[in-house]
A and B are shown apart, each in its own frame.
With several copies, the nearest count.
Chain A
Amino acid sequence: MAIDDLYQEILMDHYKNPRNKGKLHDADLEVHAKNPFCGDEVELDIIWDGGRIKDIHFVGQGCVISQASVSLLTEHVKGKTLEEIEEVIQEFSAMIRGELEKIDEDKLDELCALQGVSKFPTRIKCALLAWNTLKKVVQERKAELEGKGKVG
């Protein structure tokens, strides 16, 4: 449990130079997530392209883990389909919770930089804050598209 396992260089870089940060003014959707116990806040702005995320930005403040995690999230899900995103969320969450026996580096790619969080249980919520919110968003989008008969 060395501290460097947690604060990997990639994360520090994303914290310092966050990707896709700032409001998307023509967003289809704007959702807020908040960790009531530490005050971290994140807003996700999303533009849909049918069953895909066409663009995604975030606004927020918080610790290295939560901010790097959401910055990586935006990079990782942009352009993906709802199904692909669900798969990543599932895999990523399992990694963070320490439930994966073997991490699929191909699938998670840069996200692997957050694998150290699993050894710091007090930080799991920080890493998952934006992801849990996105999970709900994706579910709702799927339901919406199904309602319109546009999915499948």
Chain B
Amino acid sequence: MEIVEKMTLNVDRIRKDFPIFDYPDNNNLTYLDNAATTQRPTQVLEEISRYYREYNANTHRGAYRNAEKATLAYEDAREKIARLINARSSREIIFVRGATEAINTAARGWGDRFVRPDDEILITEMEHHSNIVPWQMLVKRRNARLCYWAFDERNGMLEPDGLRIMLSSSTRLLALTHVSNALGTINPVKEIIHAAHARKITVLVDAAQSIPHMPVDVQDLDADMLVFSGHKLYGPTGIGVFYAKEEILNAMDPVQFGGDMIEHVDYFESTWNDLPWKFEGGTPNIAGGIGLGAAVDYVNQIGMEIISGHEKQLVQYALEKLSGVEGVRVYGPMDPDQHGSAVSFTLDRVHPHDLATWLDQHNIAIRSGHHCAQPVMRKLGVPATARISFGVYNTIQEIDRFIIALEQAKEYFSKWL
């Protein structure tokens, strides 16, 4: 047992790792759009660069040293990711482009194989489009049904008795987000998975918004499948992870057919390679995998508990401050223990897009829009919200700066409106 000290982060030192903050044109950037994508530390960029400059080669196929070096580096990154989420083995880690491709892989490779006519796929009303549309299409292909577990628009929490009501004997899969990118809600996935398993229902967890911000242990959660994106975890673009239990991966069909994922190709029949390569057809994003490994090293070196503690302080402070601004409405849970690193809000009479432009003029980057969660917007009865979201490098001072600018925006627009 390790004892985790409640250390506070040396954010000044951490910010130095992120070249974006030093780039003169960015002029003291306050970056509050981490739920969309994070910045990348020098450590990650250098690891990518090292691959390209020193031992660039294709993986798994070469009979020379750089090919072997590249293969080892890529497979080593896989090991790091397995340890990060405490997978039983790195065979359970499939590299994909991101959370979206991971969910599509599950819907095709598992869904097309195991979902039968009239089966039900249960998702929640707070999912990202990437965890909605693949299931809409699956149920069309398989003549199955899609059902929604509702949330309470007053506090952004899933309806407490929703699971009991929703789970039926024909429910095959529950796919839900660990942390909502539009509401900030942290869902109690461990308990939910436990309840679903009692009814032999397979569970897929969309961890795109949790992996970067809190420790996630797939064995402790007992998640059957879990997905996330590297670019939200300080890693490169174009790389992400599809995790599934080994027995599920063995039972599933591969989805991308081609080089590297096969064992034997005959004219009319082929057989598949072992896990994890069975699911990785074609030359992979080698630099992306290696870069994601470096990102995992980076967060480990700081400590995920510490990052999580730091961000919780930021969320708590932001929730307090935002609620104190007249005309601001905050969505999602108000309890910071139930609230991930993204906070959604609206400001009376000022459209989020106008607010974002206004803040951008003050070098504060926030997101406005539907956050790829149109059903959430419809439920909240707004066309869009503004959203701030945090990473390891954000500070209380930045929130103060944001709040001041927000007050000024309110004043500016109320002059007219």
> Are chains A and B touching in the complex at the 8 Å CB cutoff?
yes
Taking Cβ atoms with an 8 Å cutoff, the residues of A that contact B are 1-3, 6-7, 9, 12-13, 15-16, 34, 36-41, 61-65, 120-123, 126
Tell me, in angstroms, the Cα distance from A41 to B374 when the chains sit together: 13
Interface flag for B61 (CB, 8 Å)? yes
Q: Which of B145-153, B173-181, B306-314, B356-364 contacts A (4 or more CB under 8 A)?
A: B356-364
Partner of A64, one of B351, B360, B383: B351
Instruction: Say yes or no: A63 contacts B68, CB within 8 Å.
Output: no
Instruction: Say yes or no: B358 contacts A36, CB within 8 Å.
Output: no
Instruction: Say yes or no: B416 contacts A12, CB within 8 Å.
Output: yes
Q: A12-B417, A122-B62, A122-B65 are in contact. Are A36 and B264 (CB under 8 A)?
A: yes
Instruction: Say yes or no: B357 contacts A38, CB within 8 Å.
Output: no
Partner of A38, one of B72, B384, B413: B384
Instruction: Say yes or no: A62 contacts B360, CB within 8 Å.
Output: no
Min distance, Cβ B192 to any Cβ of chain A, angstroms: 29
With a CB–CB cut-off of 8 A, which chain B residues contact A2?
Answer: 361
Interface flag for B370 (CB, 8 Å)? yes
With a CB–CB cut-off of 8 A, which chain A residues contact B358?
Answer: 3
The size of the chain B interface, using a CB distance under 8 A, is 33
With a CB–CB cut-off of 8 A, which chain B residues contact A41?
Answer: 383
Min distance, Cβ A131 to any Cβ of chain B, angstroms: 16
Interface flag for B60 (CB, 8 Å)? yes
With a CB–CB cut-off of 8 A, which chain A residues contact B62?
Answer: 122
Centre residue among A12, A13, A39, A64 by max chain B CB count within 10 A: A39
The 25 listed contacts between A and B (C-beta, < 8 Å) are: A6-B357, A7-B412, A9-B416, A13-B416, A15-B416, A15-B417, A36-B273, A37-B60, A37-B369, A38-B63, A39-B370, A39-B384, A41-B383, A62-B353, A63-B353, A63-B354, A64-B351, A64-B354, A65-B354, A122-B62, A122-B64, A122-B67, A122-B68, A122-B356, A122-B360
Taking Cβ atoms with an 8 Å cutoff, the residues of B that contact A are 60-65, 67-68, 72, 262-264, 273, 351-354, 356-358, 360-361, 368-370, 374, 377, 383-384, 412-413, 416-417
With a CB–CB cut-off of 8 A, which chain B residues contact A3?
Answer: 357-358, 361, 412
Min distance, Cβ A12 to any Cβ of chain B, angstroms: 4
Tell me, in angstroms, the Cα distance from A1 to B358 when the chains sit together: 11
With a CB–CB cut-off of 8 A, which chain A residues contact B262?
Answer: 36
Centre residue among B63, B72, B352, B353 by max chain A CB count within 10 A: B353
With a CB–CB cut-off of 8 A, which chain A residues contact B413?
Answer: 7
**Residue of A whose beta carbon sits closest to that of B385:** A39
Min distance, Cβ A71 to any Cβ of chain B, angstroms: 14
Tell me, in angstroms, the Cα distance from A18 to B262 when the chains sit together: 30
With a CB–CB cut-off of 8 A, which chain A residues contact B416?
Answer: 7, 9, 12-13, 15-16
**Residue of A whose beta carbon sits closest to that of B369:** A38
With a CB–CB cut-off of 8 A, which chain A residues contact B354?
Answer: 7, 63-65
Instruction: Say yes or no: A36 contacts B263, CB within 8 Å.
Output: yes
Partner of B72, one of A7, A40, A120, A121: A121
Instruction: Say yes or no: B68 contacts A62, CB within 8 Å.
Output: no
Tell me, in angstroms, the Cα distance from A37 to B60 when the chains sit together: 7
Instruction: Say yes or no: B68 contacts A121, CB within 8 Å.
Output: yes
Instruction: Say yes or no: A39 contacts B369, CB within 8 Å.
Output: yes
With a CB–CB cut-off of 8 A, which chain A residues contact B72?
Answer: 121
Tell me, in angstroms, the Cα distance from A125 to B65 when the chains sit together: 14
Min distance, Cβ A69 to any Cβ of chain B, angstroms: 13
Tell me, in angstroms, the Cα distance from A1 to B262 when the chains sit together: 32
With a CB–CB cut-off of 8 A, which chain A residues contact B383?
Answer: 39-41, 61-62
**Residue of A whose beta carbon sits closest to that of B368:** A38
